[in-house]
Amino acid sequence: MYQTKIAGLGKYVPENVVTNDDLSKLMDTNDEWITERTGIKERRHIKKGDGNTTATMGVKAAKVAIERSGISKDDIDLIVFATLSPDYYFPGCGVQVQEMLEIDTCPALDVRNQCSGFIYAVSVADQFIKTGMYNNVLVIGSENHSGGLDFTDRGRSVSVIFGDGAGAAVLTRSDHNGQGILSTHLHSEGKHALELSLKGPSTNYWVTEIIADNPQGEDIPYYPYMNGQFVFKNAIQRFSEVINEGLKENGLEVSDIDMLIPHQANLRISQFVQQKFKLADDQVYNNIQKYGNTTAASIPIALTEAWEEGKIKEGDIVVLAAFGSGFTWGSAIIKW
């Protein structure tokens, strides 16, 4: 069995900064409510005409990650693209990236696991590298949330949380045994699928039917629905479980964690997990204050920033953990 390491990281966020005060001009909300409930101060939104889409942002992040990895784009054996907001219903963003990066005919697949998408994608990449099938896998998480949120009072409990952006990682075969991804742990619980969901447009909810069934625009299934408190309760439980599962698998203690990078769902969720594990502030990386919840992009953006800021050093134990729609959750334990 081979081992996988992260050879390069990159991120891209749109230039357009949207503050809590900006949102309060569109809907009945305010900086105090958003800050207190979520920790978010601002997020980035794609601006019409700025050329950004889920796929193009993913490409921008990928180019940085590839450059830093030292490999050529032509050495990429597989692209795994995680998103809940693809440019098209089909095909997925993975093939768009392959075309935009001008990589000949490497396989490309999309992962649809929402906030856990990046960890699922890393796990998929890890399996291919471990078994020796591929040497280099490009993993991307990218989201265009702002194009599909309800920025009226009706959607305020959801739309203030989410932001746009992309992160990417090049995963390669590790030369040193014991360095790299030690293990990944994935879970899902489909019975809660609709507690955090976007029902349509889909094969169940075509646009024409939605309009016919909702002439007054009530109960619109083409905006995301979130049972916030239920999601919150499940998130704090599953984050803790899946971090413990990863530590146990590798014979590690909480005190071995050098850096925890939680999916940036909500600062209160991250703080709860930090307190539960009694981790110091410099052992947990948060940047939700600047970007909001960018779903599949949140971990690779945070990981990239933590690495750029010199907060991750060779030999560190880095723990990635996520929870989100599905419900899905997962963790990855990495020796840097």
Any idea which residues carry the catalytic annotation? 115, 263, 293
Q: Which range in 138-146, 200-208, 214-222, 229-237 contacts ligand COA by CB under 6 A?
A: 229-237
Query: What residues from 12 to 31 belong to the interface with ligand COA (CB under 6 A)?
Result: 29
Report how far residue 95's alpha carbon sits from residue 187's, in angstroms, rounded to the nearest whole number: 26
CB of 277 to ligand COA, least distance (A): 18
The verdict on 160 binding ligand COA (CB under 6 A) reads: yes
207 DSSP assignment: H
Smaller CB distance to ligand COA: residue 81 or 323? 323
What element of type H or E holds 94? helix 93-100
Residue 330: φ, ψ to 5° = -175, 170
What element of type H or E holds 110? strand 108-111
The verdict on 223 binding ligand COA (CB under 6 A) reads: no
Report how far residue 84's alpha carbon sits from residue 222's, in angstroms, rounded to the nearest whole number: 13
The answer to whether 171 touches 4, Cβ cutoff 8 Å, is yes
CB of 197 to ligand COA, least distance (A): 12
Among positions 19, 35, 135, 157, the unique one binding ligand COA when judged by CB under 6 A? 157
Report how far residue 270's alpha carbon sits from residue 288's, in angstroms, rounded to the nearest whole number: 10
Query: What residues from 88 to 117 belong to the interface with ligand COA (CB under 6 A)?
Result: 115
CB of 29 to ligand COA, least distance (A): 3
The answer to whether 108 touches 79, Cβ cutoff 8 Å, is yes
Smaller CB distance to ligand COA: residue 277 or 329? 329
Q: Which range in 94-102, 125-133, 221-229, 309-317 contacts ligand COA by CB under 6 A?
A: 221-229
Give residue number: closest CB to ligand COA: 228
Among positions 44, 60, 156, 238, the unique one binding ligand COA when judged by CB under 6 A? 156
Report how far residue 295's alpha carbon sits from residue 264's, in angstroms, rounded to the nearest whole number: 8
Among positions 26, 149, 228, 283, the unique one binding ligand COA when judged by CB under 6 A? 228
CB of 265 to ligand COA, least distance (A): 4
Binding mask 32-51 for ligand COA (x = CB under 6 A): -xx--xx-------------
What does 24-90 look like in DSSP terms, one character per residue? HTTSS--HHHHHHHH---EEE---TTS---HHHHHHHHHHHHHHHHT--GGG--EEEEE-SS-SSSS
What element of type H or E holds 237? helix 228-249
The verdict on 165 binding ligand COA (CB under 6 A) reads: no
Question: Helices 117-130 and 298-308: crossing angle, nearest 10°?
Answer: 70
Among positions 121, 139, 269, 297, the unique one binding ligand COA when judged by CB under 6 A? 269
Q: Which residue has the tokens 């094969």?
A: 203
What's the helix, strand, coil split of the chain in %, to 5?
A: 40, 25, 35
CB of 72 to ligand COA, least distance (A): 35
Smaller CB distance to ligand COA: residue 135 or 227? 227
Smaller CB distance to ligand COA: residue 38 or 136? 38
Residues that bind ligand COA (CB under 6 A): 29, 33-34, 37-38, 115, 156-157, 160, 226, 228-229, 231-232, 235, 265-266, 269, 293, 323-324
